[in-house]
Amino acid sequence: MKDQIIFLLLVLLSVSISLANADDWNEHKKNYGKTFSSTEEPLRRAIFTANSKAIDEHNALYVQGRVSFTKGKNQFTHLTFAEVETIHMGARHLTTNLTQLPKGCTDHKKAKRATPPSSRDWRQTPGRVGAIKNQGQCG
């Protein structure tokens, strides 16, 4: 009887964790406007779950004073690091044609070069330093 109660408690705990993960997953998709095909959904959810677990474990270390910063979930939580790197960090190992720059990007190799001043603090020039923003593939 005691073993059956323990088993039942473990099953209930597993179901409640699964439901919490479903709520987190559905909230993530809603917040970031994500929809996936029926074949891609399980993969993206598994990646999201693994990344969420890693975030929670890291933040537990922060609470213990073992690391100096926290992590959070964002629009990339359903992606692997390699995917984020390839899509948003300028990695060039995609199989797409990267000879053309994404719309809105500047070709820095063709830009005219002027001799820059020896130093400049752009924070001291009004209107020159804006808020942090997602630069997509241009960043």
CA dihedral (113, 115, 121, 125) positive or negative? negative
Question: Is residue 58 in some structural domain?
Answer: yes
Question: Is residue 48 in some structural domain?
Answer: yes
Question: Is residue 122 in some structural domain?
Answer: no
And the tokens for 76? Answer: 């990339």
Q: Please give the residue range of the domain that contains residue 84.
A: 2-99
**Structural domain total, the chain:** 1
Let me know: does 49 contact 28? Beta carbons within 8 Å: no
More confident residue, 96 or 71: 71
CA distance 100 to 83: 20
pLDDT of residue 8 exceeding 70, the answer is no
Question: Is residue 137 in some structural domain?
Answer: no
Q: What is the CATH number of the domain that holds 82?
A: 1.10.287.2250
Question: Is residue 118 in some structural domain?
Answer: no
Let me know: does 79 contact 36? Beta carbons within 8 Å: no
Question: Is residue 40 in some structural domain?
Answer: yes
Question: Is residue 114 in some structural domain?
Answer: no
pTM of the model: 0.55
The predicted-structure confidence for 41-73, as pLDDT tens digits, reads as follows 999 999 999 999 999 999 999 999 999 999 999
Question: Beta-carbon neighbour count of residue 60 at 10 Å?
Answer: 11
Question: Is residue 86 in some structural domain?
Answer: yes
